[in-house]
Amino acid sequence: MCETDVFRALADPTRRAVLERLLDGEKNATELREGLDISQPAVSQHVAILRDAGLIEQKRQGRQVRYRLAPDGLAPMVDWLTRYRAFWPTRVERLRTLLEEMER
């Protein structure tokens, strides 16, 4: 997976809500849907996008499918953000200095 897939998956508030529901452990699709104003097929579509992005995993227990957070799902996004972590403070400081010089 690449960071683009992760960012695209996380861009939707419903998918973020689904991920948040998985913070406290495995759930099935019905449990993921509770409290959301969407249909079961819509939940399945959101789950598929999250799964394809590598953010969640699924396992079968009999006829039921259980979903859980993928341990390394956010790694591509974290790697991408880490590359820019050093870049932005320097740029912001340069901008601050420029603005202060312009005010003088």
State the CATH number of the domain containing residue 84. 1.10.10.10
Report in angstroms the alpha-carbon separations of 69 from 4, 19, 74, 81, 102: 18, 7, 10, 20, 49
Domain extent, residue 40, equals 3-103
pTM of the model: 0.77
Question: Does residue 35 come out as left (phi exceeding 0), alpha (psi in the -120 to 50 range) or beta?
Answer: left
Region 47-66: what's the mean pLDDT? 94
DSSP state of 35: T
Band of the pLDDT at 1, cuts 50, 70, 90? low
Residue 99 has pLDDT above 70, yes or no: yes
Share the mean pLDDT of the chain. Answer: 90
Region 59-73: what's the mean pLDDT? 92
Q: Based on the structure, what is the number of domains in the chain?
A: 1
Q: Residue 65 in contact with residue 58, Cβ under 8 Å?
A: yes
CA gap 55, 81 in Å, rounded:
17
pLDDT value for 92: 82
